[in-house]
Structure 1
Amino acid sequence: MKRRSALYGAAAALALAPMAAWADRGEDGHLNIIYWQAPSIMNPYLSGGTKDVEASSLVIEPLARYNQDGELVAWLAEEIPTVENGGVAEDLTSITWRLREGLLWSDGSPVTSADIAFTAQYCMHPEGGCAQAARYQDVENVEVVDERTVTVHFSVPKPVPYGPFVSAQSPILQAAQFADCLGARAPECTEANFYPIGTGGFRVVDFRPNDVIQMEANPNYRDPALPHFATLTLKGGGDAASAGRAVMETGEMDYAWNLQLAPDVIATMAQGGRGVPVSAFGTLVERIEMNLTDPSPDLPPETRSTRAHPHPVLSDIRVRQALSMAIDRELLVEIGYGQAGRPTCNLVPAPPIFASTANDACLVQDLDGARALLDEAGWTVGGDGIRVNADGRRLVLDYQTSTNAVRQDFQALIQQWWREIGVEANLRNINSSVFFGGDPGSPDTFQKFYADVEMYANNFNGTDPESYLGAYRCGVEPRPETQWQGENINRFCDPAYDELHLQLAQTASIEERGRIGRELNDILMQNYVIVPLVDRGRVSAHSVTLGGVLLNTWDSELWNVADWHRTE
C-alpha cells in the first residue's frame, strides 16, 4: 500500500502556504480524536457506515450541509438554491448550484463544476454499488453550465431537491483523482479511496484501515486562518468505554465519538474532570433488522440473501410480529441509555411531523400475544421449550450485531424474551470496524447480512426522510453485481411502497410530506421489516480545553472541525 512521505507533514504544508495564511492556521498544534469503530475507507460512496462517512467528512465536503439545528446551510456553494432566488425551477424539475469563487482542492488545483457532474456519474453508475444511491433518486442528468455552475435535472418534479451533493453522505469527489474508478472498478482504487483529495480542513497523510488515520491541515483551505490545528490523529478501535476514559479521565484524547454506554458509566467518567459529555437527540434509532431472504451458507453467493430464496422462517409476518411483541423496550432504555434514550416504535422518530403514532402498541411488551401468533403460524412448543413446525424445523435464529457492551446486554435480554415465547437465538457479535465496513469480500458486513436478524443504529442527515425511506425500494438491494453495496439490506420489495415514495418525492406541502412520510414508515413497521427499539440521543465527549464543538445530530459530528480550537 502506498504511504505518504514525511515530506507531506506540517513543515511541507507550511512551505506550501503563504506566510500570512499561517499566522493563525495550525497554531493550536495537534488534535486527537477517537472513534472506537475504526474507519475502514475514506469514501462514503463505498460505505454506509457512520464511522467512514464521518472520517471522510474531514477531507471531502458537499455543496451544502445541515448545521447543529438541522438547518440547511451553504458549504462549497455560494447559497442554497430556492424557487425564490431562481436556483430551483418553478416546475421543480431542476436545481442549479453555483460554487464559491476560488475554491481549490488540497493539491492546489481548482474545484470546478466538472467535479460535481463527475460525482453524480460516479454514484449513479449501474455497476458501482453506490452506498448513497438513494440520494440520487430521480436524477436524470447533471448539466455543466459553466466552470462554477451545474444544473441537476430530475425526471419528476422535486419539491425537496436537496439530495445530491448535500450532507456528509454526498460530498464532491475530484474528477481527476477518481476518473479511472467508475463502476465495478470503484473498490479497486485503493489510493483514491484511502487518500482522497478534498476541500476540507485536513488532508490524509497516512491511512491504516481499521486502525489509525494521520492528517495535516489543508494548505489550500479556503479560510487562511483555519483550521486551528496543524495536525490531527483519528484513532480507531477499542471500545466505547476506553474511548470515554481517554477523554474524560486520562485526557489522552480531545474528542470521543458515540459513547454507547450506560448513563451511570458516563457520569462516573465525567467525574474525572478532563472532559465533558455532550448529547442531543436527532433521528438515530437502534433497531433489529429482519432478513426476508435466505442467508443459508448452503446457497451460492449469487443467490444467497436474494429474493430468489425467501427466508424459510421470517417470510411469515406472524413470526416477525411475535419477535417484536416479545421485547420490553422500556427496560432496554433503562439499562442501556437512561435519559439519553426513548423507546420507539418508528424508524423515523423525528421531526414531529414525520413521527407516527400508529405503531405505539409496541411500547407494551406482550408475551402472551406473541405466543398466540406463533401458535397460529403453526409453530408448536417442543420438549426443550423451542418451537418446531410441521416439517420438524426448530425455530432457531442467528442474531448478530457489533461488539459493544450495551448491544451485548440487549442481545442477552432479547434472547431471554424470545426464549420465553419458544424461539432460540444464537448470538454473535462482530468487530465494529468489520461489521460497519464496506469490504465486498467480507462475509460479516451489515450490508451482506448473512444472518437471520441483526441489530444496529442508523439515522438520516437533515430533517427530511425522503432519501432515507427511499432505501427500502425494490432494486436497491446489496448484491454481488453491486459489490454488496446497497441500502435495502432486508430485501423488502413492495410496488405500492415504491409508488407512495414517488408521491413523496413530488409533494411540496410539508403537511402532505409529513402524512406520506408517516404512511411509508407505517408500511415498514406494520410489515415488521424493521423492529425499532430505542430512539437514541447521540452522546459524545470532548476535552475541557477544546472549544468550538457543536454537536450535530443532523450531519457529521465533525462538520465544523476546522473551527475547533484550544481554549487553554
Structure 2
Amino acid sequence: MRRSLAILSLILSLAVPIAAPARESLTIGLSQYPVTLNPLIESMLAKTYVLAFVHRPITAYDPSWTLVCLLCETLPTLENGLARIETLPGGKKGIAVTYALKADARWGDGTPVSSADVAFTWTVGRHPRSGVSNSELFNRITRVEILDARRFTLHFDRVTFDYNAINDLRLLPAHIERPRFEAAPESYRTQTAYEQDSTNPGLYNGPYRIAGLERGSHILLVRNPHWSGPRPGFDRIQIRTIENSAAMEAHLLSGGVDMIAGELGLPLEQALALEKRQGSRFTFITRPGLVYEHLDVNLSSPILADRRVRRALLAALDRDGLTRQLFDGRQPVAATMVPQLDWVFAEDVPAAKYDPAAASALLDEAGWRSGPGGIRVNAQGDKLALELLTTAGNRSRELVAQVIQAQWRKVGIDLKLRTEPPRVMFGDTVSQRKFPHLAMFAWYSAPESVPRSTLHSTLIPTAANNWAGQNYPGYASPKMDALLDAIEIETDRPRRKALWRDLQRLYAEDLPALPLYFRADPFILPKGMSGLSPTGHQDPSPYWVEQWRWD
C-alpha cells in the first residue's frame, strides 16, 4: 500500500497544473486506445466511444433506450408504410425497409453522405474475407435497392422484431474506401484509410473530425465544418488514453484532463472513494446499465471443455461478497448475460450460489483429485492449472482477479494471472482466441440485444473467416443456435420473452462464459458542464456531444 501511495504522489508531483478548462476545449480521460478506427472492424468499446464524436450511425438507441434516427430522416415502421412484408422465393417472408438519409449529411470533405455509401458498406460487410467484426446484419440483407441519392431500401431475408434497427450498418465513405477494398478485400482491415490516413476529413460525418493522433496516447478532435446539426459547444476535444486507473485519477486532480469518460474510465469503487474526497470539485453521475462483466472461457481447452469444471469454477466464487466488499453492493451479480434492467430478464433463472463444497464435488466427479500442496491433479498427474487474462492498468479488474485467484485456490485450482494492454488484448489475443483458458472483460449491449454474435456457432472467429465474429469461447450448441434464430423472428412479445427465458436457462447450464456482475459506470465531469446523458448501453453518450455545454 505504501508503494502505491508513493507512486500516486509521484504522479501528482510530476503532473503540471493547468488553468481551469477553457470554454473552447475539453480534455477527456479514457482508459483504452482503439485498435482501429474503421467502423466495421473490431468491436472494442474505445473505438466506439471515439467514433461517436466523429461518425454517426443511421439508427441508435438514445438515453431513454428508444430507437431513433441519427443519420436518417424518419424511422421506418410497418405502421408508417416505410417497412413492408414481402414474400421471398419459396414462400418465406422477408421485409423491405426504406430509409432516407438526411439531406444535409456530409462527410468532412464536403462529399454528401449517399445511398452509394450504403451499398458499398453492405458489400464490404458481407464479404467473407473483409474481416468485419459482425457480418450478421450484412448477410441478412439480400439486396440494397438504391431509389435515389438519399433514399434506399434494404431487403432482408427474414422478418425480425427489431427490423428497423440498423445500428451496426455504420457507413464507410465509398469515395475513399472503395479503391482500398477492391484492391485486396482480404487485406482491407490493414489497408483501410482509417488505419493509414486517419486524419482524412472525408472519413467522418459527425460534428467533429479527427485532426491528429498519437497511437496509444491521444486523439485530437476539431469541429467538422460540414456538420449541419446543432453547433457543438467546444472548438476542439482531446481524448487522452491513460491505461492506469491511479494515473487517471491523478491527471483529473491535477487538471491534465477535464473529465473522465464513464464508458471507459475509473472503476466504480475508485470513483466512489474519489467522490467522498472531492465531491465539491466535480460532478459525479453513476448509471446502472447493460454492461456485462464476465470471464470468457476458451472451450478449446480440454480442461474447460468439461461443463462440470465450468460449473465448479462458478460455484467456487463468492460473487455476492465480492460486489459487496469492492463495489458497495452497487453492481448486481449476474445470472447470465441478460441484466435485470432488461424487460426480457428471467427472474426464475437464479444466479449460481457460492458453494465450495459443491465445487469440490464437481471437480472430484470430473476426475480432478486433491494432490500435492492442495492443488488438484488428474489421473495422468497433470495439475489443475489455469490462466486468467485481463486488461492491464485496470485496478478494479486486478483486484477482482486476485479475489478469484484466492477463492479458487481454496478448492485446489492453481490460477496464474496475466495482463495485457487493452489494444493488444482486444486487437489480437481475444479476437483470435489466443488466450489459453479465461479472459475477463465486459460486453456492452443494447436493450433486448440478441447475443447472436457472441453465442452463435457460425460466428466463431477463425483464420478461415479472417477472425470475423465475437464468439470467442468457441461455443457451438444446436439448441442455442435454434433459440437465437427463433427469438429474432418472434414478433409477439410474450412468446419472445418465453424464448428468452429458455435461452437464459441454457446459458446458465452450459456456461460458455462465467457471469460476474453488471457494471454501473461512473461519469466524472467538471463543474459547470451540462448536457451529457449516460445511456447505460452500447450506444455511448458522445452520439449527442452537440448537446454538451458549459453553463
What TM-score results when the alignment is normalised by the length of structure 2?
0.88
What pairs with 1:524-563 in structure 2 (closer than 5 Å)? 524-554=507-537, 555-563=539-547
Residue 448 (str. 1) matches residue 450 (str. 2): no
Give the match for residue 460 of structure 1: 445
Larger deviation: 106-115 or 345-354? 345-354
1:335 corresponds, among 312, 325, 335, to 325
Residue 424 (str. 1) matches residue 433 (str. 2): no
Give deviations 1:30-57, integer Å, cap 9, x for gaps: 1111101122321232111111111112
SS in 1 for 2:417: strand
Contact 1:349 1:356 in 2 (8 A): no
The share of aligned pairs that are identical, in percent, is 25
SS in 1 for 2:541: coil
Amino acid at match of 2:425: F
Amino acid at match of 1:74: C
Residue 97 (str. 1) matches residue 99 (str. 2): yes
TM-fit CA distance, 1:240: 2.7
Rounded to whole Å, the distance in 2 between the matches of 1:515 and 1:209 is: 46
What are the ranges of 5 or more consecutive residues in structure 1 without an aligned counterpart? 1-26, 294-310
SS in 2 for 1:314: coil
Rounded to whole Å, the distance in 2 between the matches of 1:212 and 1:29 is: 18
Larger deviation: 214-223 or 133-142? 133-142
Rounded to whole Å, the distance in 1 between the matches of 2:176 and 2:397 is: 39
Contact 1:58 1:202 in 2 (8 A): yes
SS in 2 for 1:435: helix
Give the match for residue 58 of structure 2: 63
Give the match for residue 190 of structure 2: 188
1:122 corresponds, among 124, 129, 137, to 124
Amino acid at match of 1:289: D
Give the match for residue 472 of structure 2: 489
Residue 52 (str. 1) matches residue 47 (str. 2): yes
Give the match for residue 7 of structure 2: none
Amino acid at match of 2:507: L
What pairs with 1:158-557 in structure 2 (closer than 5 Å)? 158-164=160-166, 166=167, 169-182=168-181, 183-193=185-195, 194-195=198-199, 197-223=203-229, 225-247=230-252, 249-257=253-261, 258-263=264-269, 265-269=271-275, 271-272=277-278, 273-293=280-300, 311-362=301-352, 364-403=353-392, 404-436=394-426, 438=427, 442=428, 444-445=429-430, 447-461=432-446, 463-466=447-450, 468-554=451-537, 555-557=539-541
TM-fit CA distance, 1:446: 5.1
TM-fit CA distance, 1:250: 3.2
Give the match for residue 144 of structure 1: 146
TM-fit CA distance, 1:175: 1.1
Rounded to whole Å, the distance in 1 between the matches of 2:150 and 2:133 is: 27
Rounded to whole Å, the distance in 2 between the matches of 1:53 and 1:89 is: 31
Amino acid at match of 2:256: E
Q: How many residues align?
A: 511
Give deviations 1:181-223, integer Å, cap 9, x for gaps: 4331222225333346121011111122221111110000012
TM-fit CA distance, 1:141: 2.4
Q: 1:109 to 1:270 in 2, by over 3 A?
A: farther
Rounded to whole Å, the distance in 2 between the matches of 1:411 and 1:313 is: 19
Q: 1:67 to 1:481 in 2, by over 3 A?
A: same
Residue 78 (str. 1) matches residue 62 (str. 2): no
Q: 1:208 to 1:478 in 2, by over 3 A?
A: farther
Q: 1:237 to 1:38 in 2, by over 3 A?
A: farther
Rounded to whole Å, the distance in 2 between the matches of 1:335 and 1:37 is: 26
TM-fit CA distance, 1:502: 1.4
Contact 1:132 1:170 in 2 (8 A): no
Q: 1:470 to 1:191 in 2, by over 3 A?
A: closer
Amino acid at match of 2:216: N
TM-fit CA distance, 1:483: 3.6
Q: 1:334 to 1:509 in 2, by over 3 A?
A: same
SS in 2 for 1:180: helix
TM-fit CA distance, 1:390: 1.4
Give the match for residue 21 of structure 1: none
What are the ranges of 5 or more consecutive residues in structure 2 without an aligned counterpart? 1-21, 87-93
Give deviations 1:531-565, integer Å, cap 9, x for gaps: 11111112121111222111122211312112212
Larger deviation: 258-267 or 531-540? 258-267
